[in-house]
Amino acid sequence: DKIHLEIMKVFDRHSISYQHEYKIIKYKRFDFWIDGIVVEVKKEKPSKITLLNQLNRYTKEERVKAIIVVLEKSMVLPKNLNGKPIFCVSLNINWGIAI
């Protein structure tokens, strides 16, 4: 996936240690794992309910400290779920990028 490759280039350029497609337990696989921080990438504009359900599951995992959601198209998300911060990066708002 192109956006995954671009994110990996940025992480590598800044010497950020990460795991790609990190499988924490049988049915949970994170796009990127950075020492307790999940980076979840979504193309287009995903279903908000589906995304919130996914984030809710992820934030229930004890080892997850925070989640960064990278969206191609903007969406308002809660600032935290289950006591864990949620950060949103919207590529079309911040940089006018389409994937």
Q: Where are the domains positioned within the chain?
A: 2-94
pLDDT at 83: 97
Nearest to 33 by CA among 45, 46, 14, 16: 16
Q: Is 32 exposed, middle or buried (0-12, 13-18, 19+ CB in 10 A)?
A: buried
Topology of the domain comprising 2-94 = Endonuclease; Chain A (3.40.960)
Q: Looking at residue 61, what is its pLDDT?
A: 92
pLDDT reported for residue 26:
74
Kindly tell me if the per-residue pLDDT of 21 is higher than 50: yes
What pLDDT does residue 93 have? Answer: 61
From CA 99, how far away is CA 92, in angstroms rounded?
9
Give mean pLDDT, residues 90-96: 66
Residue 95: pLDDT over 70: no
